[in-house]
Amino acid sequence: MFEAAEVDHHVAKARYEDEVPRLREALLAAQDELRDRERFGLCVVVGGVDAAGKGETVNQLQYWLDPRQVRVHGIGRATDEERARPFYWRFWHLLPPRGQTGVFMGSWYTDAILTHAAGRCSDAELDTVLDEVRHFERMLTDENVHVLKLWFHITKKQVKKRLEKLSKDEATSWRVTDEDWKRLGRYDAMRHSAERALRQTSTDNAPWLVVSGADRRHRQLVVGRAVLETLRRGLDAAPRPEPAPPVPRVPPSIDGRTVLDTLDLAKKVPDEVYDVRLEKLQGRLARLLRTSRFRKKHSLVVAFEGQDAAGKGGSIRRVTAALDPRSYHVVRIAAPSDEEKALPYLWRFWRHVPARGRATLFDRSWYGRVLVERVEGFASQGDWARAYAEINDFEEQLHDHGAVVVKLWLQIDQDEQLRRFREREATGHKRHKITAEDWRNREKWDQYAEAVHEMVVRTSTELAPWTLVGANDKRHARLEVLETLTRAVEARLE
Amino acid sequence: MFEAAEVDHHVAKARYEDEVPRLREALLAAQDELRDRERFGLCVVVGGVDAAGKGETVNQLQYWLDPRQVRVHGIGRATDEERARPFYWRFWHLLPPRGQTGVFMGSWYTDAILTHAAGRCSDAELDTVLDEVRHFERMLTDENVHVLKLWFHITKKQVKKRLEKLSKDEATSWRVTDEDWKRLGRYDAMRHSAERALRQTSTDNAPWLVVSGADRRHRQLVVGRAVLETLRRGLDAAPRPEPAPPVPRVPPSIDGRTVLDTLDLAKKVPDEVYDVRLEKLQGRLARLLRTSRFRKKHSLVVAFEGQDAAGKGGSIRRVTAALDPRSYHVVRIAAPSDEEKALPYLWRFWRHVPARGRATLFDRSWYGRVLVERVEGFASQGDWARAYAEINDFEEQLHDHGAVVVKLWLQIDQDEQLRRFREREATGHKRHKITAEDWRNREKWDQYAEAVHEMVVRTSTELAPWTLVGANDKRHARLEVLETLTRAVEARLE
């Protein structure tokens, strides 16, 4: 993998000075076109051997480009905000919006490679991490963030020479630390771990480019050309054709029955039972979330979904009544803002992922993509078909970081919905809750049922199962919701 | 101030249960109206004596309200991201957008009052902080964030009784900490400090409401009514009339000369001088920003302003060439996003305030309000006239936290601008840089000159002076820019 980069490359000054003006003009033109067309975002990942000229090359690249459309991120130690959330949160946070470029010096690879090289994780553990990396990068390219990965390589002998040279010059000696010398001692182990990582993550959508770091002008031209090529390829490519539907699909059920038909909507809870049960469940949930175990290791993420007027708002209110008001956040998902639209779909949910000890309740959620966006045609078939796997991935990351993930579908029947719509229209301050859209959605009842069925089939996992709640009786639904939450947290704390 | 809150209030259960349903319905209706009309954001500040029922009351309020339009912030110890930036950054960060409500449990008052009560700051120091608070809250209400401040008060005897009661009950004993008992010992000092703080910050736009915390039902009704009243007053008020122009205005100069006429635009730098000077200045700046003193205590904030085609982009590029690419961020200010539009004007700049050791270069800046927004009529006269003071305040906060604030106006004359426009139109990849808007702006040359003149008069301060740069010769301008930056950082490090 690295042999080709050890060939003795050299670019003469004259040739460099001949090429650079044309390269730069082409880069600026491509960048401007990207800004205006907002077709994709570009993510440049920079890794490699110490002292192989990474910083210098990125500097030069920044100088060639229009710095207003580029942001360079030095990925150092995680901040306390970052450590309190899943690993990828900080990278989601920094993703370039469409039209922009983000350069990551240090990335989602850094920790994995260093840890493996130091012998602190096994091959199998590294491979698991690399598998997650592939998923993440696949999601990025699918969601219009193109990925260019650059690995700067020089030989051990060259590293040593560079460090010695930098140390001698007064102007640069501050750049060489004890850590650098220590790392030189681990060069071979690093090379081995990096090889494994690059090999497993050189995918068709995000291959690595190994850059020979020995000659300054050579490496700059290689990187400049690679960035230009990536930009141009993305700009000039024909629009992606709508992908064929996934095979096999979850077929519409032959007898017309869906998972929703398994619910007994007639269940009712009498008033006197309700009051006692409600208070008891709220108390139990309150105590669970106040345990030091929950506060130190876990968080709570709840997705509320259901038909219009199914009672999501009322259920949420019964849950929040049990929580410390400083510890949770209710997020209402409606149309995305323009900042959200310029980033991968899940960005708008990642930004609300709670820190340990906290809860986020989503009133409608990331399932919008496979429900309303699917049925109404707001998302292309490719987008929503792909979403199931992306969502499972998202929830697994939450779960692995300690989050209790609860997903609730509140189900009412058509008669009950009609009754509630009419009731809302008759009640002054609730009238605005009923819009023409609600009536239109109602006409697509069966399409929604089919979408819900497929959603449950594809995304109800052990880590994050769906709970279907019969909600014709509001009191029954609220108790079910609280009971589900309480049980889920209890199970996790055991 | 607190005597009235020590009167023995009591609300009977029957009366409470009679009022609550109506109160709640009115609250929900007001909140929905606020969401739909997006007229203002509401900021509820909650402070007060320990064990006076703050948490319980906020909980109840949350239950009454629609939790999807409310966010409660528990202001605890600052995170490391927060500590690396000016004090108000974390509050700016959390401001409610228009249509939403933010409840701050703990606020910009907490530290000041605690520090004063513990005898760790003098009266004069407290008063300085309170003065800043008044500025901040004035800015909020001017920028459509209404502020309701609630102070929960009970007597020392009542605190003691409460703590004892909580300690005895197994379900609540975890809520009482050693710290609570210690604070009881400081009750009188706290009362004294709080009195001083409340007195000085009970302004017409954001007065304090002291809530008697002794009776649960009484305090809940008081708070519920206060929130309702604040919402209704904001919703029902007639639109604010356009304020009269500030008196005295900075008059258009009698002889037509402005500060811009003091510049010698003919200055030129020969090629051979330029190359040597440029490299030298870049080296100097690079070394300054890499000193451990800069990295630990300071940051750099630069605003680039100037006519269209004055060479801001080229100058920025010559600066960034000297910086570590991981340490800076170039922000291009264009039309605000919809998230930005829903928040006070300066929010979009606060979000980019650099942490210590870092730099943000703004290509156009917060001065947009008193330049393009003023001349084109995008901001009302009241808005831009008020902006001078808000801006001075913003820059003072940056400066006080260690930021070196540099503001550069790049000036060209009309002939030179015409020459550059024509040149851009003739150059393929620069053609898109010239739009109809640029030609329109050109016709308002004199109006812009007047706006620049007033801007310099009102906002060139010792802490953050304006530097006017003659930019007819690009090389001269770039050297001036680098020289100004270098000197400013040097002066700060001395």
pLDDT (tens digit, 9 = 90+) per residue, B373-388? 999 999 988 889 899 9
Residue of chain A with shortest Cα separation from B46: A326
Cβ(A96)–Cβ(A102) below 8 Å: yes
User: What span, in angstroms and rounded, lies between the C-alpha atoms of B296 and A225?
Assistant: 37
Neighboring chain B residues of A361 at a CB cutoff of 8 Å: 67
User: What span, in angstroms and rounded, lies between the C-alpha atoms of A247 and A263?
Assistant: 29
Which has the closest alpha carbon to B339: B61, B174, B98, B3? B98
Cβ(A314)–Cβ(A474) below 8 Å: yes
| Cβ-nearest to A32 among B69, B316, B429 | B429
Report DSSP state, residue B76: -
Neighboring chain A residues of B291 at a CB cutoff of 8 Å: none
Neighboring chain A residues of B324 at a CB cutoff of 8 Å: 55, 59
B68 to A329: CB separation less than 8 angstroms, yes or no: no
């006519």: which residue's tokens?
Answer: B307
A79 to B81: CB separation less than 8 angstroms, yes or no: yes
| Cβ-nearest to A63 among B174, B321, B328 | B321
Pick the CATH number of B259-493 from 2.40.340.10, 3.30.565.60, 3.40.50.9100, 3.40.50.300: 3.40.50.300
Distances A423 to A309, A310, A417, A433, A436 between C-alpha atoms, Å: 11, 13, 10, 11, 15
Best mutation site among A31, A36, A37, A68 for testing chain B: the one with the most B CBs within 10 Å?
A68
- The residue ranges of chain B whose pLDDT is under 70 are 171, 242-254, 256, 428-433
Cβ(A150)–Cβ(A46) below 8 Å: yes
B67 to A28: CB separation less than 8 angstroms, yes or no: no
Residue B443 confidence (pLDDT): 86
Q: How far is A246 from chain B (nearest CA, A)?
A: 36
User: Which residues have CB under 8 Å from A64's CB, separation 6+?
Assistant: A20, A23, A24, A27, A28, A224
The proportion of chain A whose per-residue pLDDT surpasses 70, expressed as a percent, equals 96
Cβ(B474)–Cβ(B314) below 8 Å: yes
From the number of C-beta atoms within 10 Å of its C-beta (0-12, 13-18, 19+), residue A290 rates as middle
Residue of chain B with shortest Cα separation from A57: B325
Rounded-to-5 percentages of helix, strand, coil across chain A: 55, 15, 30
Neighboring chain B residues of A325 at a CB cutoff of 8 Å: 55, 58-59, 62, 72, 103, 105
The pair of three-digit structure tokens given for residue A326, joined into one six-digit string: 């400083």
A332 to B69: CB separation less than 8 angstroms, yes or no: yes
* Other residues' Cβ atoms within 10 Å of the Cβ of residue A122: 10
Residue of chain A with shortest Cα separation from B171: A287
| Cβ-nearest to A337 among B283, B321, B339 | B339
Residue A40 confidence (pLDDT): 96
The overall average pLDDT reported for chain A is 91
Distances B114 to A428, B47, B71, B111, B144 between C-alpha atoms, Å: 47, 12, 25, 5, 29
* Other residues' Cβ atoms within 10 Å of the Cβ of residue B124: 7
pLDDT tens, residue by residue, A434-490: 778 888 888 899 899 989 999 998 999 999 999 999 999 999 999 999 999 999 999
Radius of gyration of chain B (CA): 27
A326 to B432: CB separation less than 8 angstroms, yes or no: no
pLDDT tens, residue by residue, A264-291: 888 899 988 999 999 999 999 999 999 9
Amino acid at A69: Q
Q: How far is B173 from chain A (nearest CA, A)?
A: 12
Neighboring chain A residues of B362 at a CB cutoff of 8 Å: none
* Other residues' Cβ atoms within 10 Å of the Cβ of residue B400: 12
B67 to A326: CB separation less than 8 angstroms, yes or no: no
Cβ(A356)–Cβ(B357) below 8 Å: no
Neighboring chain B residues of A339 at a CB cutoff of 8 Å: 337-339
Q: How far is B81 from chain A (nearest CA, A)?
A: 7
Are the folds of A3-236 and A259-493 the same?
yes
Neighboring chain B residues of A25 at a CB cutoff of 8 Å: 429
User: What span, in angstroms and rounded, lies between the C-alpha atoms of B42 and B484?
Assistant: 42
B313 to A32: CB separation less than 8 angstroms, yes or no: no
Q: How far is B262 from chain A (nearest CA, A)?
A: 31
| Cβ-nearest to B363 among A68, A316, A432 | A68
| Cβ-nearest to B317 among A67, A331, A361 | A67
Cβ(A361)–Cβ(A329) below 8 Å: yes
User: What span, in angstroms and rounded, lies between the C-alpha atoms of A27 and A33?
Assistant: 10
User: What span, in angstroms and rounded, lies between the C-alpha atoms of A26 and A344?
Assistant: 27
Angle at A361 between CA A360 and CA A362, to 5 degrees: 115
Neighboring chain A residues of B79 at a CB cutoff of 8 Å: 79-81
| Cβ-nearest to A330 among B68, B73, B327 | B68
Strand ranges, E, within A254-327? 299-306
Residue A139 confidence (pLDDT): 94
Map out the domains of chain B as residue ranges: 3-236, 259-493
B63 to A105: CB separation less than 8 angstroms, yes or no: no
Residue B147 confidence (pLDDT): 97
Residue of chain B with shortest Cα separation from A170: B287
pLDDT band of A248, cuts 50, 70, 90 = low
Neighboring chain A residues of B329 at a CB cutoff of 8 Å: 71
- For the CA atoms of A313, A315, A320, A322, the dihedral, rounded to the nearest 10 degrees, stands at 160
Best mutation site among A289, A429, A434 for testing chain B: the one with the most B CBs within 10 Å?
A429
Residue B428 confidence (pLDDT): 61
Residue B227 confidence (pLDDT): 97
The pair of three-digit structure tokens given for residue B164, joined into one six-digit string: 């004892």
User: What span, in angstroms and rounded, lies between the C-alpha atoms of A267 and A471?
Assistant: 9
pLDDT band of A250, cuts 50, 70, 90 = low
Q: How far is A251 from chain B (nearest CA, A)?
A: 36
Q: Is B320 helix (H, G, I), strand (E, B) or coil?
A: helix
Neighboring chain A residues of B103 at a CB cutoff of 8 Å: 325
The pair of three-digit structure tokens given for residue A395, joined into one six-digit string: 């929830």
Cβ(B448)–Cβ(B307) below 8 Å: yes
């030129």: which residue's tokens?
Answer: B268
pLDDT tens, residue by residue, A107-163: 999 999 999 999 999 999 999 999 999 999 999 999 999 999 999 999 999 999 988
Neighboring chain A residues of B58 at a CB cutoff of 8 Å: 325
What count of CB pairs under 8 Å joins A to B? Answer: 114
Q: How far apart are the first and last CA of chain A?
A: 47
Residue of chain B with shortest Cα separation from A288: B171
Helix (H) / strand (E) containing B215? none
Report DSSP state, residue A75: -
Best mutation site among B90, B105, B223, B429 for testing chain A: the one with the most A CBs within 10 Å?
B429
A105 to B429: CB separation less than 8 angstroms, yes or no: no
Residue of chain B with shortest Cα separation from A46: B326
| pLDDT at residue A324 is higher than 70 | yes
| Cα B265 to chain centroid, rounded | 36
Report DSSP state, residue B352: T
B325 to A28: CB separation less than 8 angstroms, yes or no: no
Which has the closest alpha carbon to A217: A50, A48, A23? A23
Superfamily of domain B3-236: P-loop containing nucleotide triphosphate hydrolases (3.40.50.300)
A286-291: long-range contacts, CB 8 A cutoff, minimum separation 24? A286/A322, A286/A323, A287/B171, A288/A486, A288/A489, A288/A490, A288/A493, A289/A322, A289/A323, A289/A324, A289/A327, A289/A359, A289/A489, A290/A324, A290/B174, A291/A493
Which has the closest alpha carbon to A477: A317, A273, A267? A267
| Cβ-nearest to B81 among A63, A66, A81 | A81
Neighboring chain B residues of A332 at a CB cutoff of 8 Å: 68-69
Cβ(B162)–Cβ(B154) below 8 Å: yes
User: What span, in angstroms and rounded, lies between the C-alpha atoms of B46 and B110?
Assistant: 10
Best mutation site among B37, B44, B59, B68 for testing chain A: the one with the most A CBs within 10 Å?
B68
Residue A266 confidence (pLDDT): 84
B79 to A79: CB separation less than 8 angstroms, yes or no: yes
What's the average model confidence in pLDDT over A357-385? Answer: 93
Counting DSSP H helices and E strands in chain B, the numbers are 21, 10
| Cβ-nearest to B429 among A29, A171, A326 | A29
Q: How far is A22 from chain B (nearest CA, A)?
A: 12
A5 — phi, psi (to 5°)? -80, -5
B340 — phi, psi (to 5°)? -70, -35
| Cα B424 to chain centroid, rounded | 38
- For the CA atoms of A349, A208, A104, B406, the dihedral, rounded to the nearest 10 degrees, stands at -130
Residue B77 confidence (pLDDT): 85
Q: What secondary structure does DSSP assign to A363-386, as a single string?
A: ES-GGGGGTHHHHTTSS-HHHHHH
